[in-house]
Amino acid sequence: MSDGLNYREIITKAVCGKGRKFSQASHKISPSEKPSSILGCWIINHKYSADKKGENVEVQGSYDINVWFSYKNNTKTDVATQTVSYTDIIPLTMRDENVLSKEMDVVARPIQQPNTLEATIAESGVHVDVQVEREFVVECIGETKVAVAVNPDGIIEEIPESTEELELTEDEFEDLDPNFLQGELEE
């Protein structure tokens, strides 16, 4: 760093780890009556928490599966409800090795809330097999150190007051990359 600039080190909180995981699960729901047909299946009351465990994040959660079904040769209906629990281990694919402390805040966000892919009556005819999918993104936020260049003159270039100075020339406009923000939109 001997290019004439001074640098300062700043300690700040930043995202120091990221991970993402898609999961599918199969659950057996046992209705009170032998089902004739499945009329609907939905998932409600999704709750979860996340903790960092080594180089992974462990997401523990639960949700209620509701199966609306008919029975007695499609003459009556009922709803079977069952609470199921899950644990997802999400590897951190991006990790900052320069974290200053072991203490980190973990943020977990479901990209895909648990939802039913399929609900079918099992071959035995006694229970309902429910296929569920879910997807999480996790971030670990910790203290890290960043270096910033300090202008020795303390002068900041003035921002133009007129928008005329901010307009693009035709050559500058043609040089713009239309995919510039695409990577950020895909996340």
Domain count, the chain: 1
What average pLDDT does the segment 37-65 reach?
95
Q: Is the pTM of this model over 0.75?
A: no
For the stretch 140-167, pLDDT in tens is 999 988 888 887 776 666 666 665 656 6
Is residue 165 in some structural domain?
Answer: no
pLDDT at 2: 46
Residue 23 lies in a domain: yes
Residue 172 resides in a domain: no
Residue 101 Cα distances to 16, 33, 58, 158, angstroms: 11, 55, 19, 39
CA atoms within 13 A on the CB side of 59: 27
Determine phi and psi for 4, rounding to 5 degrees.
Answer: 95, -10
Examine the pLDDT at 168 and tell me if it is beyond 80: no
Residue span of the structural domain in which 79 resides? 6-154
Question: Is residue 70 one of the residues assigned to a domain?
Answer: yes
